[in-house]
Structure 1
């Protein structure tokens, strides 16, 4: 069965009309949400003006409560909720006016506005916030919030007055562990720590949990080969354990914390204990050399300090080198100092996520897909391959959605209603130089290392 393959022309037209209507409704909702934020911000400002005129010793707290109670009674909701919304709205309108205006015009959604503002919340300089906002609004107009969040964190780093090394040293002092009771005999265990350690621990638990879900772990390489050969149907795998992946991660974590090893879950031979967590770090070569302070990125998402990145690079047994254009930052090539599957590494470095529009799944959770079916003559080459998460891999093969390579890692997706969506590979986390920079002529590329290594 192929989804919508038997749809009539009228039904396809109806789908296109519904899509247009839905887009316009969402734009209207965004405009109204921005208008609501504006009203709440004005209410907050009114309360502050009254307090300043009367020189209230509480600096407007009671005035804000009074205005919030007025709004809340009319809306029939909690005044605490309204006061919190007033504070959030004031923060958005006053600190990020360009973002608020873009939402009010329906160019971006409230979700886009939230991730842009959250990534830039530590920018204290108004000019820096304005420049950051302008750059991110243009990006947000064509991408999903999940993708905008990742890019926003990267762009915000460029406007930070303090280096990430300084900020990381301060942030490490806040590392902690806490317990929160939630009822029904359950409690939450929370942890705040360095990103490389947290992601490394999570990766190790995930590897252990996935290993336990399989009857025969030694068959994993064969399943990976089958995925790369364009298996259209998801492999039916026997489950040795009925627990979900999340449940297994939880149980393994407590096993490790309480015993120091997965004693309650390990197999003869200690195969689970032998698993080590790993993280992927992308670091500009200038940062690796210590001549630049551009942050590295962990798993393509989280900025980390150069000191940690250099430490991981020095301890790694091998790492991928990503050669990029010195001006455009475009990916030119990927190689490795030690032999390995070069094409797979190149695709992982180029794509950085699922290549279906709006999807942000990382390559580790994706299949490598032949855009033109290998069985029909499609080449196993960079120009015909891309990462797709299982959901969108199945959608491509079992619905009228189609994809066409446009070159340079650009893909054009066509929907069942005939609309075309362009998906471009994310820019590399690298340093670029203006063409006229003195002494840069003849430079073919600047590097960025992608390191996969234990985080400790």
Structure 2
């Protein structure tokens, strides 16, 4: 074992003090950023109020520019940048005061705030936003921003008054592709479109690239993705037809669909694409209908917790169970997809550890190596919880993410 495994108690204390100091500094930064947002929002309100009282709202943009120019000059920052920050701060302070207050108290970071606001972009009703904030903030205080993203999107989806089918249909009108030039003779090509197609395209070239790597190709996976895409686009025959391109998706894409969604019940939660984002029910049904195999995920009707995973022709049952339960790497704060993780025996099989879900955990390669070659160690706490102990002796508990399911109360079915 290496990686700080032989540090002395004195060195361990120094590391602990460094960790405490970094945590305190990050908390202070979050508090100061929230204070700055409050002042920027105040500056925005001042500019709008001054415009309304003097020459009318038609001059509001000029008033905002004037204030932004003053703030930009004193900071040596572009007034365009400052005006954008003023707008974002005004949005945060006036529409999401609970989130702003949580950041101001140091309970969440600016990154958490950005995730929360992005997911709730379409919540126009103040009561809906308040309910959303009340549900999402406890998760924000316990999870990293990358893990919070899916949770926030799921909660916002349940509160969103318009169905995902309606919004998806509108959003499809904005699909497109564009180029952004970069230094050194390079450019970025960006595509924006339905999630199922974009993930399908990416996963297809990823599988092709991995096959080439296994055959001895020395290019990186990222390089292979680009080379394969360029070859297919430039040498293929484009049709640009309006047919159902979902029929062409042959990639390995995981879709979680509550059975009530497949049945068409209007109060059902949306399907989720690979644990990453919601998709509309029509897309989910199309992908489900073309699937060659199904994993059935059984959840508790009251708690929503995962009970079991099975298949009509069972194979690798425990692996499927853990992937369905965990969704991502089980190291605290990591959001790496479970399908790309290594399964690891918490208690080594060579030391008598059993091969069952109570002694297995999925870790990305980075955290798998950390578990075996550093003083970090992990313990099963039951019910899928893992306790990670750091070199300084702190314990961080990682819980499986909530399942995309429906739970029942005395009054009604309540999706997570």
TM-score normalised per structure 2 = 0.94
1: CA distance between counterparts of 2:231 and 2:400?
40
Q: Which of residues 335, 347, 351 in structure 2 aligns to 1:360?
A: 335
CA deviation digits over 1:30-59, x for unaligned, max 9? Answer: 000000000111001000000111243534
CA deviation digits over 1:393-422, x for unaligned, max 9? Answer: 000001111111011101111111111111
Residue 379 of structure 2 is aligned to residue 427 of structure 1: no
2: CA distance between counterparts of 1:164 and 1:72?
40
Q: Which of residues 360, 364, 369 in structure 2 aligns to 1:385?
A: 360
SS at match of 1:80: helix
Q: Which of residues 297, 312, 324 in structure 1 aligns to 2:299?
A: 324
Q: How far 1:338 sits from its partner (Å)? A: 2.5
Structure in which a larger fraction of residues adopt helix: 2
Q: How far 1:68 sits from its partner (Å)? A: 0.8
SS at match of 2:405: coil
2: CA distance between counterparts of 1:350 and 1:385?
12
SS at match of 1:279: coil
SS at match of 2:85: helix
**Alpha carbons of structure 1 residues 6 and 182: separation in structure 2 relative to 1, 3 Å:** closer
2: CA distance between counterparts of 1:31 and 1:184?
39
Give the aligned partner of residue 89 of structure 1: 89
Q: Which of residues 387, 398, 407 in structure 2 aligns to 1:412?
A: 387
Alignment of 1:42-191 (within 5 A): 42-56=42-56, 58-182=58-182, 184-191=184-191
Q: Which of residues 225, 241, 247 in structure 1 aligns to 2:217?
A: 241
Query: Which runs of 5 or more structure 1 residues have no equivalent in the other structure?
Result: 216-239, 262-273, 441-445, 449-456
Residue 313 of structure 2 is aligned to residue 349 of structure 1: no
Q: Which of residues 240, 251, 258 in structure 2 aligns to 1:277?
A: 251
Task: Confirm or deny: 8 A CA contact 2:201 2:249 kept in the other structure.
Answer: no
SS at match of 1:181: strand
**Alpha carbons of structure 1 residues 242 and 251: separation in structure 2 relative to 1, 3 Å:** same
2: CA distance between counterparts of 1:315 and 1:376?
44
Q: How far 1:275 sits from its partner (Å)? A: 10
Between the two proteins, the alignment pairs up a number of residues equal to 405
2: CA distance between counterparts of 1:57 and 1:39?
22
- Which deviates the most, 333-342 or 245-254? 333-342
Q: CA RMSD in A?
A: 1.9
CA deviation digits over 1:187-242, x for unaligned, max 9? Answer: 33221111111101100000111111123xxxxxxxxxxxxxxxxxxxxxxxx223
**Alpha carbons of structure 1 residues 123 and 437: separation in structure 2 relative to 1, 3 Å:** closer
User: Where does structure 1 differ by over 4 angstroms across 4 or more consecutive aligned residues?
Assistant: none
1: CA distance between counterparts of 2:397 and 2:389?
9
1: CA distance between counterparts of 2:76 and 2:190?
35
1: CA distance between counterparts of 2:262 and 2:106?
42
Residue 300 of structure 2 is aligned to residue 335 of structure 1: no
Alignment of 1:159-238 (within 5 A): 159-182=159-182, 184-215=184-215
Task: Confirm or deny: 8 A CA contact 1:350 1:425 kept in the other structure.
Answer: yes
- Which deviates the most, 71-80 or 203-212? 71-80
CA deviation digits over 1:55-113, x for unaligned, max 9? Answer: 43534111111111111111122111111111111111111110000000000011111
Task: Confirm or deny: 8 A CA contact 1:40 1:89 kept in the other structure.
Answer: yes
Give the aligned partner of residue 265 of structure 2: 291
Query: Which runs of 5 or more structure 2 residues have no equivalent in the other structure?
Result: 238-247
2: CA distance between counterparts of 1:278 and 1:19?
40
